[in-house]
Structure 1
Amino acid sequence: MKRIKKLLFSSELYFALFLYAGVFKESIKLPIDLAAVFLLLTCVLMMINIYRKGVLNKTFLVLTTVLFTIVGYILLNFIFTSGNAYFADKLIKFILLTIPTIVLTVLILNSKESVHKFYVSIVLITITIALILVPSLIARGTNIGFIGISGGNYQGVARLLGAGLVIAIFYFLLIETNLKKKAIMLIASLLILTVLLGTGSRMPILGVILASIYIAFQLVLLKSGVIYLRKGVKNLIPFVITLGLVIPIIIQKGVLQTIIYRFIVLFNENGGGTSTLGRIERFDTALDMLKSAPFLGTGLGSFSVYYGNREYDYPHNLILEISSELGLLGLLLFLSIIFLALYFLLLILEKKTLQLLEW
């Protein structure tokens, strides 16, 4: 009970809710923006925690310098953008959503305990969303159709379910030692997997498969030419047995009809179907933009203009979106954030001392 109370009043929980608020906030009819509420709660709890500890990670200073550089570059980019109508919207979203996400990651996830709270929060949110979607999954039956909260944003739901599933599987196989908690993670994994397969979204499922391959490699340790099996290998037996019992049931209930149909379309129809053809067209447009202005790009928000003036369209690929609109220079600036984040994460996981500012 004490741990639950501690989690409920943690910045990690509200940070996770802020990150995934877009999945469900439109379905909850409130006069206020839930993402803004969760962001405010995250910042307040984080500031209280920083004040109590009296320390601030120096990585924060490096990161904010890079982010200010990016904002300055984007503002300079406005001089030659052809997407004036979309420039302001993208810049505002970058400042109000992307920057807080990056900065808060460094300020909040600064220890193994905080990372653990954050992961557990994502699993809890995922379980809640999965339970909410079960009636919709049952009601759809064997019909073809996407599953999302109130019928919308099935891709956002699938991304959340995919992230929660990977974390739950990882905890079950490699982290948790308590039998009760392991059982919870196993049940959560099966629930989330069932709903994820029912959403009809392909890429999150492919992402889970790739992440599962990584987890499988974590079960094996190669040292001095000798292969060692970690303790988590024995957990595969109940996982595979339970999965073998559940999969036939969800097949019989028609849960897989939509995703099977979508993969058949992907591999059998000319060009992979309209969804895939649309993405390929966008990829080609983004590449043409990059070729026309490789170093500085064609300007933030310009993709919609180049792609037939379609309102708020995008290439469906973040690397192509950044490089086509902000050029290779803009892409390097954004990649520097990723490298900083990975370096920071490695410091935590390897238990190396973080550089801190004290007061």
Structure 2
Amino acid sequence: MTMHAQLDRTYGLQRRAGPLPAFLDDLLSIEMCFMLYLTAGRYKALPEFEFLPVDPTMLFFALTLGLIIHKVGAREMRLLPLDAADLLVMGFVALGIVSVFWSSLEPKNIDKAWRFVLASTSAYFIARILVQDPERRDRLVRLLIGFSVALMAYYAFHRWVVGISMWELENTGRIRGNNYLEYGAHAGWMFFGALAMVVFGPRKWLVPALAVAVAGLFLLMLIGARGSLVFSALAVPLAGAMLVIGRRRDGGGFQRLVLLLVVLAVMAWAGYAALVAVKGFSEASEQLYTLERLSGQISNEATYSLDIRAEGRDLAFRRWLELPLFGWGLGEFRVQLPTLDYPHNLLLETLMEMGLVGTVPFVALQIIALFACLRAIRNPDSSWIEMMIALKFLTEIVSHASVEGYLGDNRMYFTLIALALCIGRSKPQALKPVYVR
């Protein structure tokens, strides 16, 4: 057995052999199926996919699961490591299922329990199996960023090239209900990927990454998702803090971060000036929908949606104080407040429905993932993808503890936790020759 074959067998790094180009290798992979499962809620609502006879969510879930079972059976993929993090999630899932029995046992409770098991936590376990291999981990992140770029191109094409207005977009299903949140989330993935590549990536991709970062931030200012814009903006100083903590060897991270800030400032000024020149001041302000919503929030002129969410968070906190240990049972929030499915705060939702018994293992899981991110940040050899995962998780954990999150279907966040748990580990080093005198 050669040295490289022995290393591959030891660390589970399987190299793909064959004539396929790298991008086809990505497209014809298990990670592609898994990514399409994670993002099915966005694209299956589009008019172009209404003809599909099968629900894409269930289709790609079954396909991903089947391919993993085949790979594990062929000994080409490892099972779950069953470490402390996995045991915490298993306990969390068990408590969530059991909590249904002391809830109201309404159809809403049962529905959320099924979604909790089949959507949120199943995404974690599938991701944990896949991302044990760094090659598969990197591929999954690349596919998520690539899908986000493609979706934003679709959004931009239909909004500005075809010329569909915001109201027409809502009526055609391209933007319906809270789907602006999903568009904002994917614009966030696009910006985070570009930010990590600019600051931590190879220099040869600097110019394309700058262009994607500018496009991502521009879209975030237009779509209407305030949280995505705020946390994406906070990621910029966080990337600077990561450079300080990490003491990276290349020394060019700060210069590239400053370059990004300069480019963003110049392009923002030029873009706004061009928008005012073409559309006029009032219509230009309407186009910058996210900034308009933030302005209304700061001036207290348009706070209806925030008031509803604040009411939901207040209800969740008060209900938790009534039953602090075991909570009211999974799905009970939307039974008691039918006008709001969830309180837009994952921590309060978990406390109300599962009590301290369910919240403690979930918080412990996120703390383990947080330490893994800190380990990756301090490792000067971490790749730009690892730094992007750490950057994304650090902002998402704050977001889900304040204004975001839903236990019933939060597959992207649970996948991000699985990704965060696998970074920062020491990589296999080449065997050095030993000289014997």
Fold in common (TM above 0.5): yes
Does the residue aligned with 2:238 lie in a helix, a strand or coil? helix
SS at match of 1:349: coil
Superposed, 1:213-224 pairs within 5 Å as 213-220=237-244
Give, in whole Å, the separation in 2 of the partners of 1:43 and 1:144.
38
Taking only the aligned residue pairs, the percentage that are identical comes to: 21
Of residues 51, 58, 63 in structure 2, which corresponds to 1:36?
Answer: 58
Q: Please show how residues 181-260 of structure 1 align to structure 2 within 5 Å.
A: 181-220=205-244, 230-236=251-257, 238-251=259-272, 252-253=274-275, 254=284, 257-260=288-291
The one of 320, 327, 349 equivalent to 2:424 is 349
Aligned pairs for 1:1-359 within 5 A: 2-27=21-46, 28-29=49-50, 30-51=52-73, 53-54=75-76, 56=78, 59-60=81-82, 65-82=87-104, 84-138=106-160, 150-152=174-176, 153-177=179-203, 179=204, 181-220=205-244, 230-236=251-257, 238-251=259-272, 252-253=274-275, 254=284, 257-269=288-300, 273-307=303-337, 309-310=338-339, 313-342=341-370, 343=372, 345=420, 348-351=423-426
CA displacement at 1:200 relative to structure 2: 0.9
Contact 1:221 1:228 in 2 (8 A): no
Whether the aligned pair in 2 keeps the contact of 1:220 and 1:229 (CA below 8 Å) is no
Residue identity matched to 1:129 = L
Which deviates more, 198-207 or 233-242?
Answer: 233-242
Quick one: structure 1 residues 268 and 139, their matched pair in 2 at CA, closer, same or farther if it must change by over 3 Å? farther
Residue 264 of structure 1 and its aligned partner are, at CA, apart by: 1.5
**Partner deviation per Cα, 1:93-128 (whole Å, 9 max, x = no partner):** 011111221101211111432222122111111110
**SS of structure 2 residue aligned to 1:26:** coil
Matched positions, count: 344
Does the 8 A contact of 1:133 with 1:195 survive in 2?
A: no
Cα distance in 2 for partners of 1:234, 1:85 equals 56
Q: Find the counterpart in structure 2 of residue 357 from structure 1.
A: none
2: CA distance, partners of 1:346 / 1:316: 24
Deviates more, 1:91-100 or 1:33-42: 33-42
Q: Distance in 2 between matches of 1:146 and 1:57?
A: 47
1:230 positional shift:
2.5
Q: Indicate conservation of the 8 Å contact 1:127/1:191, yes or no.
A: no
Q: Secondary structure at the match of 2:44?
A: helix
What is the deviation of 1:291? 1.0
- What is the CA–CA distance in structure 1 between the aligned matches of 2:78 and 2:123, rounded to whole Å? 17
Mean Cα deviation higher: 251-260 or 97-106: 251-260
1:146–1:154 contact (8 Å) kept in structure 2: no
CA separation of 1:52 and 1:212: change in aligned 2, threshold 3 A:
farther
* Counterparts in 2 of 1:293 and 1:113: CA distance versus 1, 3 Å: same
Quote the Cα distance in structure 2 between the aligned partners of 1:80 and 1:268. 43
Contact 2:132 2:422 in 1 (8 A): no
Which whole-Å CA distance do the structure 2 matches of 1:161 and 1:20 have between them?
13
Q: Could you tell me how far apart the structure 2 residues matched to 1:326 and 1:140 are?
A: 47
Alpha-carbon offset, residue 132 of structure 1: 0.6
- Residues 53 and 216 (structure 1), Cα distance of their counterparts in 2 relative to 1, 3 Å cut: farther
> 2 CA distance for matches of 1:62 and 1:293?
28
Distance 1:168 1:229 in 2: 18
TM-score with structure 1 length normalisation? 0.84
* Mapped partners of 2:267, 2:346: distance in 1: 35
TM-score (norm 2): 0.70
Aligned 8 A contact 1:286 1:303 in 2: yes
Give distance in 1, aligned partners of 2:295 and 2:189.
25
> Is the 1:21–1:34 contact (alpha carbons within 8 Å) kept by the matching residues of 2?
yes
Residue 262 to residue 146, structure 1, CA distance change in 2 (3 Å): farther
Moved over 6 A (4+): 143-149
Distance 1:37 1:267 in 2: 43
- Residues 100, 113 of structure 2: 8 Å contact kept: no
Q: How far did residue 197 of structure 1 move?
A: 1.5
Does the aligned pair in 1 maintain the 2:194–2:210 contact within 8 Å?
yes
Q: Unmatched 5+ residue regions in structure 1?
A: 354-359
Conservation of the 8 A alpha-carbon contact between 2:169 and 2:175: yes
**Are the counterparts in 1 of residues 313 and 343 from structure 2 also a CA contact under 8 Å?**
yes
Contact 1:137-1:198 within 8 A present in 2 as well = no
Q: Give the CA deviation at 1:63.
A: 5.4
- Superposed displacement of residue 9, structure 1: 1.8
